[in-house]
Amino acid sequence: MKKVTIPLIRLVPGLILGPASWLGPYVVINSLFLPALIQNLDPANKVKLVAIFSMCGMIVSAISNIIAGAVSDNTRSRFGKRTPSMVVGAFFFMLTSVGAAFSPNIPVLLIFWMLTNVGLNFMVAPIVAWIDMAPKGSEGTASSAYGGLGMALGNNGFNVVGALFLSRFRLGFIIFGIFTFVGILVSALIVHEPSNLDEKIQKKSKEERFSWKDLKTVFPSWKKGRDYYLALIGKLFQGIGNFAITGYILYIMTDFLHRGSQTQSSIQLINTIMLVLGIFMGFVAGPISDKFKILKMPIVIATFFLAIGAIALFILRNELGIIIYAFSAGIGMGMWNSLDNLLNLKVIPDKNRVAFFLGVYNLGNSLPQAVAPVIAATVISSFGYSGIFIVSAIFSLIGGFSMFMIKGVKR
């Protein structure tokens, strides 16, 4: 199968705007608007309900992400292999976000939230597969555009604006849902993926076809996919460590740090610092990786910065702690996001199913946001909010150790 190559002048803008358009609204809704709406509908059970919403979102994400990757891999259209799934997913995400905004009670909100996760994952799996369309020798630059710039904007840039809507969170659902659809549509037009109608569907042998009796046709054995599984484990643990804090950032500010009227400004401060550092890493990490042929070790080092940030916030519990956390987490997440997708491309066990394996790998973005609040809620009920930061540091370091154990990428 001939590899599709997109010039960087089109691919890079799409890899910045695309992930920012799905991740930004999702992070804002998940970390700010959803907890605020839950608190409005049922304040007595808010911590427990955030965990329930996260668990339901995780289940839906796990199923829909795998399906979306498989659908994208087998799509033949005049708009290419990836574009149709992501545009349809973005439109569905917009509709369900608007529905969530008008939810009158918790059960209705939960239904719309699960549907929102379906739309989300039909964007994630195809967009990240665009990285594989980079010209040879420019993969690091493409990965850095996606992770270092696009995800930095998504993770932090949108939260700066989103904090302004904390008192109008229902309107926030609508505005950010619409932005997702518009942003994905524009990024698809910029990249302008070529038609693949003439692409032949590779027929699989009897041994390669899916069988419920042999799941190795879907997921390879540990021996064959060891490095891929280690990368996936690393991403999941690092993600849980990060989102254990960001998933409860609103409640941490109000109930743990007691920021009161300064809650909005504190959230904006954290995300502004992390945004600036994330963008900086996005500009430098990928090109440096390409030039010096280093990939694994910067990702491992990134987890140490995340752990330092969590411990600083736990020990200091004041504005200085907030600033140290923002700087450390900003460097760590910027470095990680710039390079981890490229690392995963290096260890994919089947190059004919790139979107499938990238889609599964990118459950490391959505699943931690679902799992972390469940773990955090359990820790909060047992040890209070302070326990979150210890869990965050430990999980981040486990993620780094898993990445370090990868053998196929030497440094």
Residue 201, both tokens: 């569907």
Instruction: Specify whether the CB–CB gap between 41 and 33 falls below 8 A.
Output: no
Instruction: Specify whether the CB–CB gap between 181 and 94 falls below 8 A.
Output: yes
Query: What was the pLDDT predicted at 362?
Result: 67
Residue 209, both tokens: 């076809």
pLDDT in tens, 246-303: 878 888 898 888 888 888 888 889 988 988 888 888 778 877 877 778 888 889 999 9
Dihedral through CA 48, CA 375, CA 326, CA 398, nearest 10? -170
Rounded Cα gap, residues 280 and 310, in angstroms: 21
Rounded Cα gap, residues 366 and 379, in angstroms: 21
Query: What was the pLDDT predicted at 209?
Result: 47
Rounded Cα gap, residues 332 and 108, in angstroms: 37
204 belongs to a structural domain: no
Q: What is the DSSP letter of 353?
A: G
How many distinct structural domains can be found in the chain?
1
94 belongs to a structural domain: yes
349 belongs to a structural domain: yes
Query: What was the pLDDT predicted at 201?
Result: 60
Q: 3-state class of 211 per DSSP?
A: strand
Rounded Cα gap, residues 248 and 252, in angstroms: 6
67 belongs to a structural domain: yes
| 213 CB-near residues (< 8 Å, 6+ apart) | none
212 belongs to a structural domain: no
Query: What was the pLDDT predicted at 395?
Result: 95
Q: Which residues of the chain have pLDDT under 70?
A: 1-2, 147-148, 201-218, 352, 354-356, 358-359, 362-366
- pTM tops 0.75, yes or no: no
201 belongs to a structural domain: no
H/E run at residue 170: helix 169-191
Residue 21, both tokens: 């358009």
Rounded Cα gap, residues 240 and 372, in angstroms: 5
Q: 3-state class of 195 per DSSP?
A: coil
> Residue 268 is part of which domain span?
8-196+221-404
202 belongs to a structural domain: no
**Phi, psi angle pair for 193, to nearest 5°:** -60, 135
Residue 365's CB is within 10 A of a number of other CB atoms, namely 30
Query: What was the pLDDT predicted at 2?
Result: 66
Q: Which CATH number is 161's domain given?
A: 1.20.1250.20
Helices (H) and strands (E) in the chain, counts: 17, 0
Looking at residue 80, its amino acid is G
H/E run at residue 173: helix 169-191
264 belongs to a structural domain: yes
Q: 3-state class of 214 per DSSP?
A: strand
